[in-house]
A and B are shown apart, each in its own frame.
Chain A
Amino acid sequence: MSSTSSTGPNSKQAQRKAAMTVLAHSAAADIAGRLAAIAIPKHENLREPENGLVMLRGRVGGDGAPFNLGEATVSRAAVRLASGEVGFGYTLGRDAEKARMIALCDAMVQSAELSGEVEAKVIAPLRAAVDAERSRKAAETAATRVDFYTMVRGEG
């Protein structure tokens, strides 16, 4: 199986990661709002939603050996659909319900039957909102780009 195949395991994993990224960047209320618009399949909690910590790591000089910068709160959950797909939800912060919704979406993304709908009705609109917010900030930031010029010094 080629890693570039659009149906290969790597592309599936990339799709799951892309969906997880959007979901992690979205507010729990927005995810809940989108999920309300689709039929939720039967599922059970495989791991009850819980809070914990992760140690955030940086690198010496930005690109060197890792070091421990400090911790962050995280939430995680795991959900199994009645059809068997197991989804995992991880997110910064203490909103365990958000982690559960991410896990549910991840399970649906893996389902051949449901992935089209969850992509179109949950992930895509959330992605559009996340991208719009990022573009707004990037445009505001760009307005503060400066061109310093140095004055000629000394006898002249």
Chain B
Amino acid sequence: MYVAVKGGERAIENAHRLLAHERRGDRDVPEVTLAQISEQLALGVDRVMTEGSLYDRELAALAIKQARGDLIEAIFLVRAFRATLPRFGATEPVNTGDMQVWRRISSTFKDVPGGQILGPTFDYTHRLLDPQLAEGFVPEQPMTAEASQAATPRVTDILGRDGLIETSPQAESDAPVGDLTREPLSFPADRDLRLQNLARGDEGFLLALGYSTQRGYGRNHPFAGEIRFGEVEVEFFAEDAGFAVPLGSIELTECQMVNQFKGSTTEAPCFTRGYGLAFGQSERKTMSMALVDRALRARELGEEAGAPAQDEEFVMSHSDNVQSTGFVEHLKLPHYVDFQSELGLLRKLRQEFAEANQAVELQEAAE
């Protein structure tokens, strides 16, 4: 139990002043700007937006700067900021099928309609440190080619036409959509809540869980049916205007995992699916999310569910790094009163132990 303490105001103030000084670092080195963070540390910004659960590049960049590059601290700052603004409502669901694609790959079909588009990727790099980047490197302008006007349908839509993959679960258009920022978690949780939880969940945690399913803890035989990254338009039904107004576009990454098939006496076998969606270019995150989403469907699909990644309560209760860090890091706060009572109890137990031992020794000596 944590009991509040008082005092230390001056020390705290001075510590924060020292933090600001250390954050700035050597004052002879130019200060980093938000635009530099947003442009040059773009994937860190994407992660902070995704797990901070707030799409705003500039705020995420500010959070990263304020947090000295500690992304979980930055995510915490962004989450806290959310509470300062009113929510106008929810957007129309985005259509990832209409995405302006900047990258799109399928590991299942080499001749996927619309083509395989590598885009800006670390894939196929040699992971050798590049000394050129250390200073003043000016990259070449990118090559260009004629852009195809062909549509880029989702791979799952193509498989779906032949009934080879299960269809996505549908909902009535006015059915409420679960929102874990408004209602506390309860179990069992529906797929909408699970996906919301995973979308803002810690990338490292989901990566480890996804990996665990590949290693046999809840195996579900995944293929990366498709990963796409690009821009989607966002619309919001504005009551004052009376129609869905365009808000602009956001960058998203989507992963469609195609998994082991399932059938029954009444249904022909077909592939099952796991889904991942995140802000910005977040491939590792969406792949991990899709693996875990599929693992969490074990019971629904009549699979034996004993692995950690299949345990909805375990996964959803520990995926949030702001909650996790809050509880782990609160151990740093003064627990003096609590500790004093533990100490008192321990001294008493040790005294009883000593007395009991003494009694035994006396008895043995007497015998």
Contacts and interface: CB of A to CB of B under 8 A. Distances in A.
Do A and B assemble together?
Answer: yes
Interface of A: 13, 17, 20-21, 24-25, 47, 51-74, 76, 78, 88, 90-94, 134-150
Interface residues of B, number: 83
Interface of B: 49-50, 53-56, 58-59, 82, 85-97, 100-103, 110, 115-120, 142-148, 154, 156-157, 167-171, 175, 177-181, 191-193, 195-196, 199-200, 233-234, 236, 238, 240-241, 243-250, 252, 254, 256, 273, 275, 277-279
The 3 A-B residue pairs with the shortest CB-CB distance, nearest first, are A64-B168, A61-B168, A65-B171
A61 B156 contact: yes
Given A66-B93, A138-B100, A143 B247 contact: no
A152 B23 CA distance: 56
B54 A73 contact: yes
Contacts of A69: 94, 195-196, 199, 277-279
B165 to A, nearest CB: 9
B21 to A, nearest CB: 29
B94 A73 contact: no
A141 B180 CA distance: 37
B192 to A, nearest CB: 4
A94 B250 CA distance: 14
Contacts of A140: 142-144
Contacts of B58: 93-94
Contacts of A136: 144
Contact of A143 (B144, B175, B196, B240): B144
Contacts of B278: 69
A147 B148 CA distance: 14
Contact of B273 (A17, A52, A61): A61
A71 B192 contact: no
Contacts of A147: 110, 116
A80 to B, nearest CB: 12
20 contacts: A52-B85, A54-B90, A55-B87, A57-B92, A57-B93, A59-B96, A59-B168, A64-B168, A67-B195, A68-B180, A69-B279, A71-B54, A72-B55, A72-B247, A138-B100, A142-B146, A145-B117, A146-B116, A147-B116, A149-B110
A62 B54 CA distance: 20
